[in-house]
Structure 1
Amino acid sequence: MLTMQFGPQRRYSFRGREREDGAWALHVQCDWQMEHEDSTVATRLDLRGSDEKAHDTAARLHELLVGQGLVSVESLSAYDTGGMVVLFSRGYRLAVVSDGVEDDEDWRFFAPCVDAAHFVIEDGKVAAESY
């Protein structure tokens, strides 16, 4: 699963551990592709291989999106099919495509450890739990 943090950093406790993460989180379980200008940087398949391959991909993404200076969201386009495209600064682009599998979560956007509804796309549609 691709996980990304957005917004200002905040401290909170999660399962007895102190954490510091962005105010918002995106978890993507369907097909996705991260691009930089005209080249593919990583895809869902890069996180589905061995643990070593997944860790290497996560480290590479972290270095590109955080280690070389934070990127920021410049725009977001959502589609009726449950997909979206997020354009980031410095020429990065995240394309998310719903798998369209019934009762299968595609992606969710939420505030970690905040008692509020999550925005969830399941089977290419907004899930009832989002309301």
Structure 2
Amino acid sequence: MDYVFKRGRTEEAAEYALHIQCSWRIAKGNKIEDINEHTIVERVDSDEVGGLKIFLPQGYLLEVFPDTSEDDEYSEFSRLFKRKEDSSHFVVTGNGLKNE
């Protein structure tokens, strides 16, 4: 875990960040749930249309599912990056994958 400074405070933050700009949900079994604590990613699966299944401890599952097939410059579905300056970003869009 890295430390980041926010308004003069030091906070603990994950090494990576995932920005989601499409439909998503957190489920546990057959129920939609919330997670209000830090968690660890156990495994990630992806599909052909930019969707993700992110497996978390205790049976939680974060599902990311793009809900459009638009392929314009504004169709960014998700962005994964390391929380340090000058790190590259792995971006999933309607045009495919980009490494920025």
CA deviations 1:58-108 (Å, max 9, x no partner) are xx532xxx1xxx432221111121111011110100111123232211001
Structure 1: 5+ residue runs without aligned partners? Answer: 1-8, 42-59
8 Å contact from structure 1 (residues 14, 113) kept in 2: no
Shift of 1:38: 1.3
8 Å contact from structure 1 (residues 24, 112) kept in 2: yes
Tell whether 2:39 aligns with 1:89: no
Pick closer, same or farther for the CA change 1:15–1:77 going to 2, 3 Å: same
Structure 2 length as normaliser, TM-score? 0.80
8 Å contact from structure 1 (residues 30, 96) kept in 2: yes
Tell whether 2:35 aligns with 1:61: yes
8 Å contact from structure 1 (residues 82, 124) kept in 2: no
Q: Hey, what does 1:33 align to over in structure 2?
A: 25
CA distance in 2, matches of 1:15, 1:126: 34
Structure 2: 5+ residue runs without aligned partners? Answer: none
CA distance in 2, matches of 1:94, 1:124: 23
Q: Quick one: which of 121, 124, 130 aligns to 2:92?
A: 121
After the TM superposition, which parts of structure 1 deviate over 6 Å for at least 4 consecutive aligned residues? Answer: 14-17
- Specify the SS of the correspondent of 1:73: coil
Q: Hey, what does 1:108 align to over in structure 2?
A: 79
Shift of 1:117: 1.0
Pick closer, same or farther for the CA change 1:14–1:121 going to 2, 3 Å: farther
Query: What is the count of residue pairs matched by the alignment?
Result: 97
Greater helix proportion: 1
CA RMSD across the alignment:
2.3
CA distance in 2, matches of 1:14, 1:31: 28
CA distance in 2, matches of 1:117, 1:16: 27
